[in-house]
């Protein structure tokens, strides 16, 4: 979300957009890490069932 000051300054607007993009990427990275951990656990369980 752009702040009032960023509406008057292209540099501030760009920084606000970049900050928002970084925040979105951080959330997505955490979600992917959690998914990876869950998949590792499922794979380990599957191996235990086979072995």
State the pLDDT at residue 11: 92
Indicate the domain borders of the chain.
Answer: 4-50
pTM of the model: 0.67
**pLDDT at position 42:** 97
pLDDT given at position 2 = 55
Q: What is the pLDDT along the chain (51 residues), one digit of tens a residue?
A: 555 666 788 999 999 999 999 999 999 999 999 999 999 999 999 999 998
Which one, of 33, 30, 6, 31, lies nearest residue 18 by Cα? 6
């Amino acid at each position: 979300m752009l702040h009032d000051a960023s509406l008057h300054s292209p540099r501030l607007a760009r920084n606000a957009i970049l900050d928002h993009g970084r925040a979105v990427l951080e959330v997505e990275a955490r979600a992917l890490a959690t998914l990876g951990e869950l998949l590792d656990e499922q794979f380990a369980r599957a191996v235990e069932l086979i072995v």
